């Protein structure tokens, strides 16, 4: 079975490629990239005028299964991924039960193989039940298929626990992905501490809570040699800490999310719970520092922190509504419209931050169109203008602050293992 | 005006209109029969998620003096205790044909949420640390009575010092917007741990020094200090607080001789305000009871303006 994507602009940062070509897929793998019009095969899709990239990789997604299927499940979450041009997602362990045993890891992988529209790589919890004390059985979790270890949503507060967890992970080559927050500084906080929160009378989450958490985790990574990935960076100072860590040669990568480079805490005004996430939207200075960090490569990865919540959960008092917003179905359009078009990032660097960079951060075998790789491919129409309409999302949830936004650049075809999962 | 959610949303003209209306309606409170038929047949529901004496009572009396029916929902005895969401509770009250909801809630933004989900007018009776607009209005009316009578509520040249726990105060926030829109200069004075982040970017002068804060002030507004602030590590002791930021006969001399002293209540006598000042035995004029009295008039004005006139939505329902 051969599939040809004919005549598209093939852009693959993993091999420095950007040219009009035919992409030849055979038996679910990339066979070759050949001169436009030369590829032969049983099925041909004309993608001339369109952008062809490795399938996007999102290493920070909450699929909510098992336990919270009313918000999202593997089937709906991976359909949302495919709709957004993502072919690989890493799912966070704050499920019920948590991803802290091999059984849950295998259950997610099997379920994704059965009903998924994207590859799913489970991330396991550093501690049992994400309680922050006893370590999970990390070697067994890795053997079962866990791709990394994280404390997202329930950051490990005890520095000794984090140190030993990193030491333990390092011996198996497991990357630790940290939510950086000193929670003694954020009790009761619901949005960024600052003028907007003061006017709204909403308890604040200070930027230093993230910075202290990030500094601690970077220092522990240097101490233990454990590969560290800083999740959802939202502050200028944490970008600076990451820059320092890289200069020192520490094995550290970092990500930010589209909402942190497009919004500020002013989006919370009028008590909009769909602009509430943790870490929270910050100041314009932070947004600009994040853009600069992406531009100079300090911030390696763009991930979405796709965090579905049911409508009734977000239709609550601002301080009582849960943290988190959707990301998968708006990410590419936001990145293209607000980072690439204004010249903050080249298209090449934007695609790198959403393909090979996240794959490399965790050592995932995806994010490339090199011959022999999985035939995971995304096709985008960069000239298509569209309006974000949450009611059309494939996700089960609707919690986005981007409803009604006009975006440029739309995913139009997603190929997973040689099979068109969305056209 | 479809709702009263905060003074930040109102312009000076709106505020002056409410105050002038309140000043007119206040005459009713002096009558032997305190009842006018203005809102006969209308129903006001007060929904209080926090304890309150003066705000709740004055809303209820304001409704009754205008012949509206007032129903008070006590959260402890309502379906809220069965876990009903705020949205569902609000929708239920609208469905039983309330014409106006007065809401007090510990979450900032609860009144905005009510306005989002209801078609009937919503009055914010205090939401978290956000706003308490009827308190701001009654404070303005009281200041006008004592310092700017018959000026059409023009406060230019007046300096109002708000002293105490500003971080947790919805009264302080409503007064910033209300008083500055009427032309006053507003100062905030309190310990650094009780000043909210970026307070200096609000239209206020901020200081931690009491002498500087109340120097030559026309009005000193004293805020309640909640004693649990000590447990959260925000203050070392009530004694030290009282020594550095307490308003007493000595410290009050730093303000103007004819200073007007206000307190939104309930007071902690001997903590943020000395008992003799509270009882009007200090320098200047203590007007705490005038504030409470004006609270009824201001709430009558708000109910009247939202329910009787200028509200096409109400008319549509008739």
pLDDT digits (tens, 9 = 90+) for B88-105: 999 999 999 999 999 999
Same domain, yes or no, for A390 and A292? no
Q: What is the pLDDT of residue B232?
A: 82
**Inside any domain, residue A68:** yes
Same domain, yes or no, for A118 and A224? yes
Same domain, yes or no, for A275 and A400? no
DSSP structure class, residue B250 = T
Say if CB A43 and CB A4 are below 8 A apart: yes
Residue A197: its chain B contacts at CB < 8 A? 196-197
The pLDDT tens digits of the residues spanning A167-182 come to: 999 999 999 999 999 9
Q: Quick check: is A305 catalytic?
A: yes
Q: What is the pLDDT of residue B309?
A: 54
Of all residues in chain B, the one with the smallest CA distance to A187 is B232
**Inside any domain, residue A369:** no
Domain boundaries, chain B: 12-131+293-317, 133-292
Instruction: Enter the CATH code of domain B133-292.
Output: 3.40.50.1370
Would the pLDDT of B192 be above 50? yes
The domain tally of chain A equals: 2
ipTM: 0.94
The pLDDT tens digits of the residues spanning A316-343 come to: 999 999 999 999 999 999 999 999 999 9
Same domain, yes or no, for A155 and A130? yes
Domains B12-131+293-317 and B133-292 share a fold: yes
Q: Of A338, A362, A386, which closes a domain?
A: A362
Q: A393 lies in which domain range?
A: 2-51+374-422
Q: What is the pLDDT of residue B82?
A: 84
Q: CB B85 to CB A316 under 8 A?
A: yes
Q: Which of A285, A321, A345 is nearest to B86 (CA)?
A: A321
Of A194, A197, A317, the CB nearest to B110: A317
Would the pLDDT of B229 be above 80? no
**Inside any domain, residue A367:** no
Would the pLDDT of B312 be above 60? no
Same domain, yes or no, for A122 and A160? yes
Q: What is the pLDDT of residue A168?
A: 98
Same domain, yes or no, for A196 and A60? yes
Same domain, yes or no, for A213 and A289? yes
Q: CB B130 to CB A198 under 8 A?
A: no
Q: What is the pLDDT of residue B313?
A: 37
Q: Of A310, A341, A362, which closes a domain?
A: A362
DSSP B266-277: ---BTTTB-HHH
Say if CB B179 and CB B11 are below 8 A apart: no
Same domain, yes or no, for A108 and A234? yes
Q: What is the pLDDT of residue A410?
A: 98
Q: What is the pLDDT of residue A364?
A: 98
HEC profile of chain A = CEEEEEEEEEEEHHHCEEEEEEEEEECCEEEEEEECCCCCCCEEEECCCCEEEECEEEEEECCCCCCCCCCCCHHHHHHHHHHCCEEEEEECCCCCCCCCCHHHHHHHHHHHHHHCCCEEEEEEECEHHHCCCCECCHHHHHHHCCCEEECCCCCCCCHHHHHHHHHHHHCCCCCEEECCCCHHHCCCCCEECCHHHHHHCCCEECHHHHHHHHHHHHHHHHHHCCCEEECCCCCHHHHHHHHHHHHCCCCEEEEECHHHHHCCHHHHCCCCHHHCCCCCCCCHHHHHHHHHHHHCCCCCEECCCECCCCHHHHCCCCCCCCCCECCCCCHHHHHHHHHHCCCCCCHHHHHHHCCHHHHHHHCCCCCCCCCCCECCEEEEEEEEEEECCHHHCCCCCCCCCCCCCEEEEEEEEEEECCEEEEC
- pLDDT > 90: percent of chain B: 89
Same domain, yes or no, for A39 and A123? no
Residue numbers in chain A where pLDDT is lower than 50: none
Same domain, yes or no, for A65 and A37? no
CATH number of the domain where residue A95 is located: 3.20.20.140
Q: What is the pLDDT of residue B293?
A: 97
Same domain, yes or no, for A177 and A291? yes
Per-residue pLDDT, averaged over B274-279, amounts to 97
Q: Of A330, A362, A394, which closes a domain?
A: A362
Would the pLDDT of B132 be above 90? yes
**Inside any domain, residue A412:** yes
Q: How far apart are CA B98 and CA A130, in angstroms?
A: 46
Q: What is the pLDDT of residue A131?
A: 97
pTM score of the predicted model: 0.95
Q: What is the band of B230 on the pLDDT scale with cuts at 50, 70, 90?
A: confident
Q: Which CATH architecture has domain B12-131+293-317?
A: 3-Layer(aba) Sandwich (3.40)
Q: CB B107 to CB A320 under 8 A?
A: yes
Q: How far apart are CA B173 and CA B188, in angstroms?
A: 10
Residue A203: its chain B contacts at CB < 8 A? 129
Q: What is the pLDDT of residue B308?
A: 75
Four-point Cα dihedral A175, A177, A182, A188, nearest 10: -160
Q: What is the pLDDT of residue A317?
A: 97
Of all residues in chain B, the one with the smallest CA distance to A199 is B130
CATH number of the domain where residue A406 is located: 2.30.40.10
Q: Of residues A305, A319, A349, A376, which has the active-site annotation? A: A305
Same domain, yes or no, for A9 and A62? no
């Amino acid at each position: 079975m051969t599939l040809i994507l004919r005549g598209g602009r093939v852009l693959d940062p993993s091999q420095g490629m950007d040219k009009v070509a035919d992409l030849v897929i055979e038996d679910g793998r990339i066979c070759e990239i050949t001169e436009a019009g030369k590829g032969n095969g049983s099925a041909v899709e004309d993608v001339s005028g369109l952008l062809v990239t490795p399938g996007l990789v999102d290493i920070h997604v909450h699929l909510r299964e098992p336990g919270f299927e009313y918000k999202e499940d593997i089937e709906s979450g991976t359909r949302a991924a495919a709709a957004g041009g993502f072919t690989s997602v890493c799912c966070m362990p704050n499920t019920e039960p948590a991803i802290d045993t091999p059984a849950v890891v295998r259950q997610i992988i099997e379920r994704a193989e059965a009903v998924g529209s994207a590859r799913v790589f489970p991330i396991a919890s550093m501690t049992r039940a994400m309680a922050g004390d006893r370590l999970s059985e990390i070697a067994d979790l890795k053997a079962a298929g866990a791709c990394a270890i994280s404390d997202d949503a329930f950051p490990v507060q005890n520095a000794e626990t984090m140190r030993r967890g990193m030491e333990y992970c390092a011996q198996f080559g497991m990357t630790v992905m940290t939510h950086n927050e000193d929670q003694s500084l954020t009790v009761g906080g619901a949005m960024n501490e600052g003028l907007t929160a003061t006017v709204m009378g909403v308890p604040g989450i200070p930027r230093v809570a993230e910075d202290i958490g990030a500094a601690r985790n970077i220092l522990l990574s240097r101490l233990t040699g454990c590969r560290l990935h800083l999740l959802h960076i939202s502050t200028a100072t944490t970008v600076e800490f990451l820059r320092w860590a890289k200069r020192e040669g520490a094995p550290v990568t970092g990500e930010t999310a589209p909402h942190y480079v497009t919004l500020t805490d002013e989006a919370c005004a009028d008590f909009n719970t769909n602009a509430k996430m943790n870490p929270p939207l910050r100041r314009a200075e932070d947004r600009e520092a994040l853009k600069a960090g992406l531009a100079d490569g300090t911030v390696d990865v763009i991930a979405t922190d796709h965090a579905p919540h049911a409508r009734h959960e977000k239709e609550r008092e601002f301080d009582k509504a849960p943290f988190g917003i959707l990301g998968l179905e708006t990410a590419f359009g936001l990145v293209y419209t607000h980072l690439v078009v204004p010249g903050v990032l080249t298209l090449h660097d934007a695609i790198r931050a959403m393909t090979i960079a996240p794959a490399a951060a965790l050592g995932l075998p995806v994010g490339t169109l090199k011959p022999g790789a999985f035939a995971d491919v995304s096709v985008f129409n960069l000239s298509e203008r569209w309006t974000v309409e949450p009611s059309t999302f494939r996700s089960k949830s609707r919690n986005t602050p981007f409803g009604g936004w006009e975006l440029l650049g739309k995913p139009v075809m997603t190929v997973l293992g040689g099979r068109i999962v969305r056209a | 005006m479809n709702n009263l959610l905060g003074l930040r949303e109102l312009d000076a003209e709106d505020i002056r209109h409410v105050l002038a209306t309140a000043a007119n309606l206040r005459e009713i409170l002096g009558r032997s029969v305190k009842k006018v038929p203005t809102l006969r047949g209308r129903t006001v529901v007060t929904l209080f998620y926090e304890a309150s004496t003066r705000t709740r009572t004055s809303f209820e009396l304001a409704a009754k003096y205008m012949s509206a029916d007032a129903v008070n929902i006590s959260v402890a005895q309502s379906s809220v205790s069965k876990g009903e969401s705020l949205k569902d509770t609000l929708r239920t009250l609208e469905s039983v044909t309330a014409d106006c909801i007065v809401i007090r809630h510990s979450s900032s933004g609860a009144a905005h949420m009510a306005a989002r989900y209801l078609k009937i007018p919503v009055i914010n009776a205090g939401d978290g640390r956000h706003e308490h607009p009827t308190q701001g209005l009654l404070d303005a009316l009281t200041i006008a009575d004592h310092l700017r009578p018959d000026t059409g509520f023009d406060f230019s040249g007046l300096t109002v010092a708000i002293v105490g726990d500003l971080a947790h105060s919805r009264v302080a926030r409503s007064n910033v917007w209300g008083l500055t829109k009427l032309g006053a200069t507003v100062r905030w004075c309190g310990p650094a741990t009780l000043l909210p982040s970026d307070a200096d970017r609000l239209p206020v002068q901020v200081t931690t020094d009491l002498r500087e804060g109340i120097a030559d002030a026309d009005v000193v507004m004293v805020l309640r200090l909640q004693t649990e602030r000590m447990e959260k590590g925000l203050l070392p002791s009530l004694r030290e607080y009282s020594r550095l930021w307490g308003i007493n006969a000595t410290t009050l001399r730093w303000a103007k001789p004819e200073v007007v002293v206000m307190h939104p209540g309930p007071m902690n006598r001997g903590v943020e305000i000395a008992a003799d000042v509270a009882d009007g035995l200090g320098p200047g004029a203590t007007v705490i009871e005038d504030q409470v009295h004006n609270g009824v008039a201001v709430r009558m004005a708000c109910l009247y303006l939202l329910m009787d006139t200028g509200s096409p939505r109400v008319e549509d329902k008739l």
